[in-house]
Structure 1
Amino acid sequence: MTVLKYLQAYPANLQDQVRQMIASNRLGDYLAQRYSERHQVQSDKALYAYTQAIRQEYLRNAPNLDKVLFDNRLDLTHRALGLHTAVSRVQGGKLKAKKEIRIASLFKEAAPQFLRMIVVHELAHFKEAEHNKAFYQLCEYMQPGYHQLEFDLRVYLTWRELPAQD
């Protein structure tokens, strides 16, 4: 039986459906049918503008972002698709806090829905630190259908690691 490391938290019947699609070599077709487009956000500057627009629309009172970038050092072995950080430094007699979001570089080639889902997820952490009910409600507010996108993103990551994809 194929171990689906990105889907372990999901019910067995959903995992079995994904395994059946893998066995019949239909997983790639499923993803291509649902997510055929690729987004145009290819630079850190464009990603910053994209993220700021979402923040401005949904989280006007959230702190300003100092940096948003694609990070090729983020990898799936650390289970990090994106990171949000608040770096505090003392400058002179003042405490300065810098807010950053880093998105894994593999999302440069992903569907626009997946990029938005990751950005929404990281932005939501500025309001809700933990993955709790309020956090997921905020994600759903900013991105209707968030839970389905998260599942499909995990299916996409599973597909990327299939031997035929290397």
Structure 2
Amino acid sequence: MHTLKYLTGYPATLTDQIQRLIDHEKLGEMLLKKYPAPHQVKTDKALYAFIMDMKNQYLRQSSPISKIVYDDKIDLLHQALGLHSFVSRVQGSNLKAKNEIRIGSVFKTVPLEFLSMIAAHELAHLREKQHNKAFYKLCVYMEPNYHQLELDTRIYMTYLDRVGPLY
């Protein structure tokens, strides 16, 4: 039996249930029933607009974001789903700080709910750098179903790893 690398840390009862769905080839059916179609945010420009709309709705006073892109180089296991970077550079006598959000290219073909959860996670890093209680409270503020969507995204990643693309 393979380990479910995207679900480490979850209870054995849950991972056993997911493993049974994989073994009986029912996991894809379950995911499609819950999330029947992928989103239409396919380009970097559309992703920028999507995330900036979310930022303007929930985090208007936070730092500006200089770049938002899909990135094929993100290692999904170690950097999970997306990457928020804060870059400081000295230009003359000024210190310039830039925030960038990069989301794994694999998320061009997922349900909109998954993309929204990832966006909420990366935007929360504008205010909270660490994954602490305040960070997750901010994630839930932006995406009320955040925790369920994170689990479902990890289940989808498990399916993708084992079987291949769903959409």
2:88 is paired with a residue whose SS is: strand
Q: Which amino acid aligns with 2:88?
A: S
Match of 1:100, SS? Answer: strand
What is the distance in 1 between the residues matched to 2:126 and 2:160?
A: 29
Q: What is the TM-score with the length of structure 2 in the denominator?
A: 0.94
The match for 1:24 is 24
Confirm whether residue 9 of structure 1 aligns to residue 37 of structure 2. no
Q: How many equivalent pairs are there?
A: 165
After TM superposition, give the deviation of residue 90 of structure 1 in Å: 1.2
Unaligned residue ranges in structure 2 (runs of 5+) = none
Residue 158 of structure 2 aligns to which amino acid in structure 1?
T
Cα RMSD for the two superposed structures: 1.2
Q: Distance in 1 between matches of 2:53 and 2:155?
A: 28
Secondary structure of the 1:165 match is coil
Q: CA deviation at 1:120?
A: 0.6
Structure 1 stretches of at least 4 aligned residues deviating more than 4 Å after TM superposition: none
Mapped to 1, the partners of 2:78 and 2:131 lie a distance apart of: 17
1:46-66 deviation digits (Å, cap 9, x = unpaired):
111111110011111110111
**C-alpha distance in structure 2 between counterparts of 1:88 and 1:133, whole Å:** 26
* Counterpart-to-counterpart distance in 1, 2:49 and 2:164: 32
Distance (whole Å) between structure 2 residues aligned to residue 62 and residue 76 of structure 1: 27
Percent identical pairs in the alignment equals 52
Gaps of 5+ in 1: none
TM, length-normalised to structure 1: 0.95
Q: Retained in 1: the 8 A contact 2:86–2:100? A: yes
Query: Are the counterparts in 1 of residues 65 and 99 from structure 2 also a CA contact under 8 Å?
Result: yes
Counterpart residue number, 1:165: 164
Paired residues of 2:6 and 2:77 also in contact (CA < 8 A): no
The match for 1:40 is 40
Q: How far did residue 115 of structure 1 move? A: 0.7
SS at match of 1:73: coil
